[in-house]
A and B are shown apart, each in its own frame.
Chain A
Amino acid sequence: MVEPLERLVPDGGLIRGSTITIGGVGATSLALQLSTAASQSGSWVVVVGLNDLAPVAVLEANLDAERIAFIDPGNSGRHVDVLAALIGAVDVIVLDARLSLRPSDGRRLASRLRERGSILIVVSPGGAVNSSLSADLSLTVGDAQWEGLGCGYGHLRSRRVRVGVNGRGRASRMARCELLLPSVDAQVAIAESEREDGTVVAFSR
């Protein structure tokens, strides 16, 4: 996982076999940043659904262009079969939350994930995740504030977001973190803010 995101999750990285859900405004960027380190170290990232995801943004997030593929299941209704074929064969699967799963399928896929050690990231751009998959880790992006854009001048440079972390086991204690997503170099960074008493905080549990 890229360095700024290590503090976000309890074990400092993505755990094989786990399911992560990401929702809210900024979910797409966070999902890409979460997959970057895995992609850089030679893992495949396959995106199922999310037909509106811009390939150019995927490259800007530093994912390895040789190890990424997009799958459009259309309205064939076969996305469950597709997921079953991918689990175990690729390391990171990014799934569009708009592709609905039956609870029984969700359980089957989750056990297959744990057995084969792939990571499933369920993304719901702009909205809350409403999936029958029970998440090991659920991230909610909110309170987005863009910087760099004035009224008639400048351009979007960075966005300050608040990410809520929730999940099972060690992640069950709700944590919050302020991130620059994207930061000025189009990557991700911890946003530090000054409290009224003068202490600098970025992370709280």
Chain B
Amino acid sequence: MLCPDWPVIATAASADEAVAVIAANRVTATSPAARAEGVEVGLRRRDAQRRCPGLHIVDPDPDRDARVFASIASLVDQFTPRVELSSPGSLAFPTLGPSRYFGGDDPLARLVASEIDEALGSSGWFDAVGVGVADGIFAATRAAELAVARPGHVSVIPSGQSAKFLSPFPVSVLGRPELADVLYRLGLRRIGDFAALNVDDVVARFGVEGRFLHRLARGIDDRPSSVGPPPRSFDVESVIDPPAERVDIAAFAARSVADDLHDQLCAEGLACTRLLVVVETDAGERLERVWRHEGALSSTGIVDRVRWQLDGWLNGPSAQRPSGGVSRLLLVPDEVMPARGRQHGFWGGETEADERAGRALARVQGMLGVAAVTVPERRGGRGPADVVVRAPFVGVGGDDGQGRGVALDAPWPGRVPSPLPTLLPTELLPIQVLDVRGASVWVSGRGTLSAEPSMVRLDDAARGGVSILGWAGPWPCDERWWDQLTHRRRARLQLALADGRALLVQIEQGSWSVEAIYD
């Protein structure tokens, strides 16, 4: 079952609105109305806005996606108990048992599709879902993609026909851009061409990963052959006392269990590809979910999935919400594969030191709260305070690798000349800028100063004025003039004071304040 527009549906937007989810300046999901205007996945923000000026842009939020998706997953629960979630917007289940009960793959797929379509349709999102049945998850996902556009939203590939079904697709759907590029240049443009190669040749040229993709292309199975049930039980559980009512408290408990599980598996040289997460409340309710991951789940990945599951349950629709707090958490690795191991970086990359620092920072987060530990993150903006901001620390080199791409060489319109100020007052610091006669200096609507500034007086009355040795400006800055609510109009002045300090001051609405300090 696949729902390609899920990140948009999860925002609770109406179906006829042009909405796009944009992550890192690229469109990652769109609504049908936005697609009709030419907004495509992969487009840059500015291009998307040019094609569709009324586009409503939403930030990505996997937690929200997963929370809302929990209600869809519970719909499928009535057909089969073995629902596997891979990511919000897509889920899979083995059809062998249920299709015998419901009279074949086709009727089962139709039932699932109509059930979900109805649920989504109640909020206006008809025709947003596709259900595909095939021999493996890879082929089934391709089938589901096609099914979205079909009446009935179902596409069933008969058993044994998956390879034939996959063969006309371009090699890029294998999801490995580098490999697709090489294959394309070798003249192998369709999956069928790639599948026709001899296995030995593929292994010789592309190694283990190539063999895995070759299996995908032949529609055999989408798991590496080494995947299997764990040799012994690795179940870890944690009893939460007092029961956690809030997601973050339960997720914090999950972190230590996840680390424990990860360490146990590592000691055996294994990595987890499918994980069963069981949560129980003190009132005896129980929620089980199977999560799968193409690679191996890291401990931060496990914690994320536990948080998604809890979030969907504890903050979901009131009919499904548990009556008590979470009292027990059980993690059961369902499928494992040999860990290929993570080579610690020699230069750069993730090192032992990174892991140690990550653990210490997580501990501090436990003491002070998640928001107390922050890392720099690049945002857009004109002022020195807007360009790089502090964002809560999530984890070292986790799935979402924070801190990457924070560079100052990107374009920065309205940049304050280098060197940049080092301190940004956390609260408004009013200041008086005076001319030689002691009258207040102001900036006209045309951006000229009323007089040369000659001294400043900070608001603490005990100190007298400090004379100005040098000044530059005013540098006018007119931000977001198209938006009444966030429109800011100000002018900056750089000042060097007689006591050795240097300030960046700004005038906004007729009053001066210190924007930044060069310390």
Measuring CB to CB, which residues of chain A are less than 8 angstroms from any residue of chain B?
A: 25-29, 32, 42-44, 46, 51-60, 65-74, 76, 78, 81-82, 85-86, 89-91, 125-126, 142-146, 149-159, 182, 185-186
Q: Are B367 and A82 in contact (CB under 8 A)?
A: yes
**Further pairs besides A69-B393, A86-B364: 6, Cβ < 8 Å:** A73-B372, A91-B353, A126-B517, A156-B518, A158-B419, A182-B419
Q: Are B403 and A66 in contact (CB under 8 A)?
A: yes
- Given A25-B500, A66-B403, A69-B374 in contact, is the A90-B420 Cβ separation under 8 Å? no
Interface centre among A26, A56, A152 (most CB of B within 10 A): A56
- Give A96 Cβ to nearest chain B Cβ, in Å: 11
Q: Which 7 A-B pairs have the closest CB atoms?
A: A144-B500, A89-B360, A149-B470, A65-B406, A66-B403, A44-B357, A55-B376
Q: Are A149 and B419 in contact (CB under 8 A)?
A: no
Q: Are B425 and A52 in contact (CB under 8 A)?
A: yes
- Given A44-B353, A85-B363, A182-B419 in contact, is the A149-B494 Cβ separation under 8 Å? yes
- Give A91 Cβ to nearest chain B Cβ, in Å: 7
Interface status of B417 (Cβ within 8 A of chain A): yes
Q: Are B421 and A68 in contact (CB under 8 A)?
A: no
Residues from chain A with Cβ under 8 Å of B422 in the complex = 28-29, 32, 53-54, 57, 125
Q: Are B519 and A42 in contact (CB under 8 A)?
A: no
Residues from chain A with Cβ under 8 Å of B389 in the complex = 55
Q: Are B385 and A54 in contact (CB under 8 A)?
A: yes
Of B367, B374, B494, B519, the residue contacting A81 (CB under 8 A) is B367
Interface centre among B354, B406, B470 (most CB of A within 10 A): B470
Residues from chain B with Cβ under 8 Å of A154 in the complex = 470, 472
Q: Are A186 and B420 in contact (CB under 8 A)?
A: yes
Interface status of B424 (Cβ within 8 A of chain A): yes
- Give B220 Cβ to nearest chain A Cβ, in Å: 39
Interface centre among B354, B360, B402, B403 (most CB of A within 10 A): B360
Interface centre among B367, B375, B422, B501 (most CB of A within 10 A): B422
Of A42, A54, A85, A151, the residue contacting B351 (CB under 8 A) is A42
Interface centre among A26, A65, A149 (most CB of B within 10 A): A65
Q: Are A54 and B472 in contact (CB under 8 A)?
A: no
Residues from chain B with Cβ under 8 Å of A76 in the complex = 367-368
Q: Whose C-beta in chain B lies nearest to the C-beta of A183?
A: B419
Residues from chain B with Cβ under 8 Å of A158 in the complex = 419
- Give A90 Cβ to nearest chain B Cβ, in Å: 5
Of B359, B403, B407, the residue contacting A89 (CB under 8 A) is B359
- Given A89-B359, A126-B519 in contact, is the A60-B354 Cβ separation under 8 Å? no
Q: Are B368 and A143 in contact (CB under 8 A)?
A: no
Interface status of B286 (Cβ within 8 A of chain A): no
Measuring CB to CB, which residues of chain B are less than 8 angstroms from any residue of chain A?
A: 348, 351, 353-354, 356-357, 359-361, 363-364, 367-368, 372-376, 384-385, 387-390, 393, 402-404, 406-408, 417-426, 452, 469-472, 494, 496, 499-502, 516-519
Q: Are B388 and A59 in contact (CB under 8 A)?
A: yes
Of B356, B408, B426, B494, the residue contacting A52 (CB under 8 A) is B426
- Give B499 Cβ to nearest chain A Cβ, in Å: 8
A188 to B5, CA, bound (A): 51
A54 to B515, CA, bound (A): 11
- Given A25-B501, A44-B354 in contact, is the A68-B375 Cβ separation under 8 Å? yes
- Give B413 Cβ to nearest chain A Cβ, in Å: 15
- Give A69 Cβ to nearest chain B Cβ, in Å: 5
Show 27 A/B contacts (Cβ-Cβ < 8 Å), sorted by A. Answer: A27-B519, A32-B422, A42-B351, A44-B353, A46-B357, A46-B361, A56-B384, A56-B408, A59-B376, A59-B407, A65-B376, A68-B375, A69-B374, A70-B374, A71-B361, A71-B364, A71-B372, A71-B373, A72-B372, A72-B374, A73-B372, A82-B364, A125-B422, A149-B469, A153-B472, A154-B470, A158-B419
A126 to B367, CA, bound (A): 30
Q: Are A69 and B375 in contact (CB under 8 A)?
A: yes
- Give B306 Cβ to nearest chain A Cβ, in Å: 24
Residues from chain A with Cβ under 8 Å of B372 in the complex = 71-74
Q: Are B471 and A149 in contact (CB under 8 A)?
A: yes
Q: Are B357 and A67 in contact (CB under 8 A)?
A: yes
A86 to B427, CA, bound (A): 28
Residues from chain B with Cβ under 8 Å of A90 in the complex = 356-357, 360
Residues from chain A with Cβ under 8 Å of B403 in the complex = 65-68
Q: Are A56 and B387 in contact (CB under 8 A)?
A: yes
Q: Are B368 and A144 in contact (CB under 8 A)?
A: no
Q: Are A152 and B519 in contact (CB under 8 A)?
A: no
Residues from chain A with Cβ under 8 Å of B418 in the complex = 60, 185-186
Residues from chain B with Cβ under 8 Å of A89 in the complex = 356-357, 359-360
Residues from chain A with Cβ under 8 Å of B404 in the complex = 65-66
A175 to B517, CA, bound (A): 28
Q: Whose C-beta in chain A lies nearest to the C-beta of B412?
A: A56
Q: Are B360 and A71 in contact (CB under 8 A)?
A: no
A2 to B471, CA, bound (A): 31
A151 to B453, CA, bound (A): 9
- Give A179 Cβ to nearest chain B Cβ, in Å: 13
Q: Whose C-beta in chain B lies nearest to the C-beta of A145?
A: B500
- Give B147 Cβ to nearest chain A Cβ, in Å: 41
Residues from chain B with Cβ under 8 Å of A152 in the complex = 452, 471-472
